[in-house]
């Protein structure tokens, strides 16, 4: 946390000097953001990946399809940027959903630069 100081002049003393009062107010820093990434594998069906993107990331079908193709072609794709807690929850939800459907889909998170 960074502190910002504001100075205010007080009334003059008899000797002509001015006293200064300092008022400190905290300057809050934004929490770091985290990228959620989907990783490609050779076994998870493309339709399943599209469904995951629609269900857990709120993407429409066209957006989900585009990201799925990026994952397929490049090996991974960023599917969203969130606070730590939300990113962690999204990763857990995707991983759990994939396991329950017996797919090896991998989802990770990393701190945004």
Instruction: Give 64's DSSP letter.
Output: H
d(CA 109, CA 91): 7
Taking 70 as the pLDDT cut, the residues of the chain under it are 1-22
Predicted local distance difference test score (pLDDT) of residue 13: 52
Predicted local distance difference test score (pLDDT) of residue 5: 46
d(CA 106, CA 45): 13
End-to-end CA distance of the chain: 19
């Amino acid at each position: 946390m960074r502190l910002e100081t504001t100075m205010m002049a007080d009334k003059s003393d008899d000797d002509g000097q001015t006293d200064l009062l300092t008022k400190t107010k905290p300057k809050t820093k934004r929490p770091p953001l985290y990228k959620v990434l989907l990783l490609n594998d050779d076994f998870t069906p493309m339709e399943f990946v599209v469904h995951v993107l629609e269900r857990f990331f709120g993407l429409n079908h066209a957006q989900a399809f585009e990201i799925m193709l990026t994952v397929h072609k490049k090996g991974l794709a960023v599917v969203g940027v969130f606070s730590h807690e939300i990113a962690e929850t999204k990763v857990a939800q995707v991983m759990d959903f994939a396991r329950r459907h017996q797919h090896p889909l991998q989802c990770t998170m990393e701190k945004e630069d």
